[in-house]
Amino acid sequence: NSSESHNCAKSILTSDRLQIVVTLSEFFNETWETANCANCLKNSSEGLSNSTVEFLDLFNKSLTCFEHNLQGQTIYMSPNNYTEVCKNCNETYKMLNDLYNNLQRMNRQGGESGHSVHLCIDVEDAMNITRKLWSRTFNCSVPCSDTVPVIAVSSFILFLPVVFYLSSFLHSKQKKRILILPKRIQSNASLVNIQEKYS
């Protein structure tokens, strides 16, 4: 126990030239911190948090659903054979994805573990595996529900300049050109008339 006999602990830990015990201890502590392992545990670190247990249970259900709907086919077959997987496992995958997003949101606010920023590596890796299987391997994609509004708004914005220039052309006043004769020409014409009278 290092608290009771610091000198004894120091001599045991640093007895060899490589200090292998200290090096391994630092490595495992750093790995634990980098992987955010504490974020999968309860505050007192007495076991997995309820949300982690729920996530892992749903993750296992998703993998079981994938395997069950493959119907004995290998994973690397052509994408058209996976329509059953996409159709039958859509609800399970959606629940898992929603739970993961909720866990991320909760974790930013402190969550069950009392730690923040990232979820633990087990949860993140499980979700990455599931998303990769769902999108790349099975080629399942959820159609975007925002497509129609985006196209409608884009068309409206592109049509605005046409409307502007057309309305500007139709509502502008077309001025007729009126020729105004200069005064000098009028005076010359009157002189010609006077000359014609007297001649």
Contacts of residue 127, defined as CB under 8 A and 6 or more positions apart, other chains included, come to: 59, 96, 97, 100
Overall average pLDDT of the 25-45 stretch: 88
Tens-place pLDDT, residues 44-94: 678 898 999 999 999 999 999 999 888 655 555 554 568 888 889 999 999
Residue 91 lies in a domain: yes
Q: Give the model's pLDDT for residue 194.
A: 57
pTM (predicted TM-score): 0.59
Q: What is the total count of domains within the chain?
A: 1
Residue 188 lies in a domain: no
Q: Give the model's pLDDT for residue 18.
A: 76
Overall average pLDDT of the 26-34 stretch: 92
Distance separating alpha carbons of residues 146 and 173, to the nearest angstrom: 43
Residue 39 lies in a domain: yes
Residue 150 lies in a domain: no
Question: 42 falls in which pLDDT band (50, 70, 90)?
Answer: confident
Residue 52 lies in a domain: yes
Question: 197 falls in which pLDDT band (50, 70, 90)?
Answer: low
Q: Give the model's pLDDT for residue 16.
A: 74
Q: Give the model's pLDDT for residue 59.
A: 96
Residue 2 lies in a domain: no
Residue 58 lies in a domain: yes
Decide which of 197 and 86 is more confident: 86
Q: Give the model's pLDDT for residue 39.
A: 86
Confidence check: pLDDT of 198 > 80: no
Q: Give the model's pLDDT for residue 113.
A: 47
Q: Give the model's pLDDT for residue 195.
A: 57
Overall average pLDDT of the 127-148 stretch: 83
168 touches 174 (CB < 8 A) = no
Overall average pLDDT of the 134-151 stretch: 79
Residue 127 lies in a domain: yes
Decide which of 147 and 138 is more confident: 138
- Domain span at residue 54 reads 8-137
Q: Residue 70, Cβ neighbours under 10 Å: how many? A: 16
Coil, helix or strand for 145? coil
135 touches 85 (CB < 8 A) = no
Which residues are 41's β-sheet partners? 48
Overall average pLDDT of the 121-150 stretch: 85
Tens-place pLDDT, residues 93-134: 999 999 999 999 887 776 554 455 678 999 999 999 999 999
Structure tokens at 143: 């159609």
Decide which of 39 and 142 is more confident: 39
